[in-house]
Amino acid sequence: MMQRIKKIHKDDIVDILPIIIVFVIIGIIIGTAIYGAVNTDYEISYTTGTVINKYEEEYDTLNYIRDEDGDIIKVETRHHHYYYTSVKVKDTDNYATLCQREYYEHHKIGDNVKVKVSMRYFKGKYKDTSYFIVY
């Protein structure tokens, strides 16, 4: 017996079109990510830096608790406290900053610390350098 091939109607294509578009967009995103990862290289080295600044940032924010109708039933205050340590990288005009309480507490201004230097290349061409304080 011969099976009949179902004709595709215009309405069927319109229903499937958003799904096809989503898959194409996802494919482009994944392809771009893979292309970038394959063509990007990093050169990692380590140097030292001197702690030049330490500071704390402290502030409060309000969190509103609402009921089902959207009316405020309770207000909570959230306290935020951050500890920053800034380092001047040796032999450069660059700086690195780390927000970590333990590091802040264990180092004082003038201490020499280890700094990670990450140089990024895309297709063999230099793009930028990033500095990270090593803890």
With residues binned 3-state (H G I as helix, E B as strand, rest as coil), the percentages for the chain, rounded to 5, are 25, 50, 20
User: Which uninterrupted H or E stretch holds 84?
Assistant: strand 72-89
What is the tens place of the pLDDT at every residue in 79-108?
999 999 999 999 999 999 999 999 999 999
What is the tens place of the pLDDT at every residue in 17-69?
888 999 999 999 999 999 999 999 999 999 999 999 999 999 999 999 999 88
DSSP state of 15: H
Residue 8 has pLDDT above 70, yes or no: no
Q: Walk me through the domains of the chain, giving residue ranges and CATH numbers.
A: 42-133 (2.40.50.660)
Q: Return the closest-CA partner of residue 57 out of 79, 75, 77, 78.
A: 79
What is the tens place of the pLDDT at every residue in 103-130?
999 999 999 999 999 999 999 999 999 9
> Locate tokens 């898959």: which residue?
23
